[in-house]
Copies of this chain bind each other. A is one copy, B any other.
């Protein structure tokens, strides 16, 4: 594990470390011949500056931390994909952390990434998280961070989310236009901001078409697969004619549960979900979907973060960016219409 250091070069060339350092950094105040010599030798020996030493000196790491509830989730893995691509081009590394939907792990993870001197943090909250003091703490310590997807009103920092309201509105409206009126809404934990926004979009669409809101048609589910089936039973007891689900897992769980009960789609019920493109591609033909712009959310979030980092300012603007969703309507096997919202 022996790397070439500046010291090695200095010794070999009978120079001081400072001269070598300057030569490598292309400083002006240096003899051209010396410079050439150093660069040549460094090249030949495959010299690479030690990023750890640099981090210690500069008190930064050129790395950003990403905290997500789960990597093995299409939405987050696509978001990370977007994040990594941009960060890489800007010379930053990405360190991934998973909270596994656990509040405690999220707290530990935030602290660890701070200790690791990440230059900034991208975070999507664990479903368990309601107390946000760990975030206030790092904010107070001056670590820039951007929240994405699972955000909270209680923290004043830039946020990037899908336009959940518009997406839910479009989905619900689509179902209504198909003639459905008892639209069940199966969604994720109620305290998440995205849940509220989607619910609001759902309600707004109902209202537009003068359909009364029936809270018996709304069910909140956790993220475990086994929770879904009983909720579908509950909802079926309310004799809905459509399902609008708030995540891909719910959509798929719902799909499976309906099949199991021999409920035909789309004759008896229509089904529409919030999913992302990868999943949307796999869906059974009759299912339309609101596509979450996962990758774009990641990209926009990391861009805002890098801006904060490089301008070294808290946050020029701490608003929420809403990335448009797309509604993909499938009549039979083919997507026949893709419309932006």
A111 to B256, CA, bound (A): 46
Protomer copies: 2
Q: Which residue of B48, B51, B72 contacts A80 across the interface (Cβ within 8 Å)? A: B72
Q: Which residue of B115, B142, B259 contacts A50 across the interface (Cβ within 8 Å)? A: B115
Given A80-B72, A259-B333, CB of A95 within 8 Å of CB of B94 = yes
Of residues 181 through 223 on chain A, the ones whose CB sits less than 8 Å from some CB of chain B are none
Q: Which residue of B59, B84, B93, B252 contacts A71 across the interface (Cβ within 8 Å)? A: B84
| Shortest distance from the beta carbon of A283 to any chain B beta carbon, whole Å | 7
Q: Which residue of B72, B88, B95 contacts A95 across the interface (Cβ within 8 Å)? A: B95
Contact present for B72 and A278 (CB under 8 Å): yes
Chain B residues whose C-beta falls within 8 Å of the C-beta of A72 in the assembled complex: 74, 77-78, 80-81, 278, 295
A282: interface (CB < 8 Å) = yes
Of residues 79 through 130 on chain A, the ones whose CB sits less than 8 Å from some CB of chain B are 80-81, 84-85, 88, 93-98, 100, 111-112, 114-117
Q: Which residue of B53, B94, B279, B283 contacts A56 across the interface (Cβ within 8 Å)? A: B53
| Shortest distance from the beta carbon of A247 to any chain B beta carbon, whole Å | 14
Chain B residues whose C-beta falls within 8 Å of the C-beta of A245 in the assembled complex: none
A50 to B51, CA, bound (A): 15
Q: How large is the interface on A (under 10, 10 to 19, 20 to 34, 35 or more residues)?
A: 35 or more
A49 to B55, CA, bound (A): 15
A70: interface (CB < 8 Å) = yes
A281: interface (CB < 8 Å) = yes
A284: interface (CB < 8 Å) = yes
A191 to B116, CA, bound (A): 39
Of residues 1 through 17 on chain A, the ones whose CB sits less than 8 Å from some CB of chain B are 1-3
A143: interface (CB < 8 Å) = yes
A141: interface (CB < 8 Å) = yes
Given A71-B81, A142-B1, A282-B282, CB of A117 within 8 Å of CB of B59 = no
Of residues 50 through 64 on chain A, the ones whose CB sits less than 8 Å from some CB of chain B are 50-53, 55-56, 59, 61, 63
Q: Which residue of B2, B85, B98, B112 contacts A81 across the interface (Cβ within 8 Å)? A: B98
Given A95-B94, A98-B81, A283-B282, CB of A117 within 8 Å of CB of B71 = no
Among A71, A78, A260, A334, the most chain B Cβ lie within 10 Å of the Cβ of A71
Contact present for A284 and B284 (CB under 8 Å): yes
A80 to B259, CA, bound (A): 32
Please list the residues of chain A having a beta carbon within 8 angstroms of any beta carbon in chain B.
Answer: 1-3, 48-53, 55-56, 59, 61, 63, 70-74, 77-78, 80-81, 84-85, 88, 93-98, 100, 111-112, 114-117, 141-143, 252, 256, 259-260, 278-279, 281-285, 295, 333-334
CB-defined A-B contacts under 8 Å, sample of 7: A51-B117, A63-B95, A71-B84, A72-B77, A72-B80, A93-B116, A259-B333
